[in-house]
Amino acid sequence: MVRAALDIHSFTRFIPHREIEATASNLNFHRLSPMHSIAMEHLDSGSDGVSQVELTEPPLICGLPDDIALLCLARVPRKYHTLLKCVSKRWRDLVCSEEWHSYRQKHKLDETWVYALCRDKFDRACCYVLDPNSSRRCWKPIEGLPPRSVKRKGIGFEVLGKKVYLLGGCSWSEDATNEVYCYDASMSSWSDAAPLSTASGRWQHADADLVSGWRGPAVVLDGTLYVLDQSSGTRLIMWQKETREWVPVGRLSPLLTRPPCQIVAVGKSIFVVGKGLSTVIVDVGNVGNIGGVIITSSIPKLTSDDDVISCKCLAL
């Protein structure tokens, strides 16, 4: 049993008073007991009096209506959500709920983390996560990958809502499968998902001028297509829709990048993730370069040399 004592003032001091007043004006406040509130109703049944006891859930934060409590708790940074889930079952259910996810999105409180699907030196699939907002940025492993997917090749890796999906794949001992697994980022757990349906999509023709420079992983940031060209060194290029041509953004230092790399966009930055999860961050909104080499920040690689298969971002 994990118990936590919370200072309500430590939450509310970060919240603009106008938000609390606006929420409070629409609520009817009642005195709340620290324990479960008990409503007693006396019903007559013939000559005998029968007492019916109705138990209601305790408040999220003692002394506050749940609406105000949600307003406070939703502002806790994502890196502390694991601790919030340890306080009580109600808190755990709240942090893992769609209501929590929707509230943080609506009020622009959600934080984006980067997820990577890799393959280690034993040819096994593995997953990692990165909090780009942390003061001590580093990749951390995600445990509990479904055993049946570990040896598969050609696995699809996608994000939808607050879940990361592993799609299909095959191995030397089995044909391509339609199995799907999902990782719920709010619950930090893996589960089976509905299998893939029969393929029904169609390929569409791409213009030759667009295809000519598309030689690597791509990402769209603020409506602009960026491609990481690794055919000769590592350089970032962008597609100019007005002139319909590829324009170089700059080269990345060979001392920092370790191809083959994958890329993902977070905010105004592009994360270039290479072998061993060596990571270079390019601030697209403020790109500077020296001698044609882009000025970047970086995150140290792991001690292992895992190959990066795919990278995705998930906001929660």
pLDDT digits (tens, 9 = 90+) for 155-188: 999 999 999 999 999 988 889 999 999 999 999 9
Task: Answer whether residue 45 shows pLDDT above 80.
Answer: no
pLDDT band for position 42 (50/70/90)?
Answer: very low
- Kindly report the average pLDDT of the chain as a whole number: 85
Judge contact between 270 and 296, C-beta under 8 A.
no
Candidates 264, 277, 278; CA nearest to 314 is 264
Residue 273 CB-half CA count within 13 A: 31
pLDDT at 288: 81
User: Domains plus CATH for the chain?
Assistant: 8-33+53-106 (no CATH), 208-311 (2.40.10.480)
**Does 265 score more than 90 pLDDT?**
yes
Instruction: Give pLDDT tens digits for 146-156.
Output: 999 999 999 99
Q: What is the mean pLDDT of residues 295-316?
A: 94
- Select the more confidently predicted residue: 36 or 295: 295
CB atoms within 10 A of CB 34: 9
CB 80 within 8 A of CB 285: no
For residue 22, pLDDT over 80 is answered with: no
pLDDT at 286: 86
Per residue in 189-229, pLDDT (tens digit) is: 999 999 998 766 788 888 999 998 899 999 999 999 999 99
Top-confidence residue, 127 or 203 = 127
DSSP assignment of 66-111, as one string? HHHHHHHHTTS-GGGHHHHTTT-HHHHHHHTSHHHHHHHHHTT---
Task: Work out the angle between the directed axes of helices 66-73 and 98-106 (0-180°, nearest 10).
Answer: 70
**How far, in Å, CA of 279 to CA of 189, rounded?**
26
Q: What is the pLDDT of residue 21?
A: 47
Whether pTM > 0.85 for this model: the answer is no
pLDDT value at residue 40: 38
High-pLDDT (> 70) share of the chain, %: 82
User: Do residues 215 and 229 touch, judged by C-beta distance below 8 A?
Assistant: yes
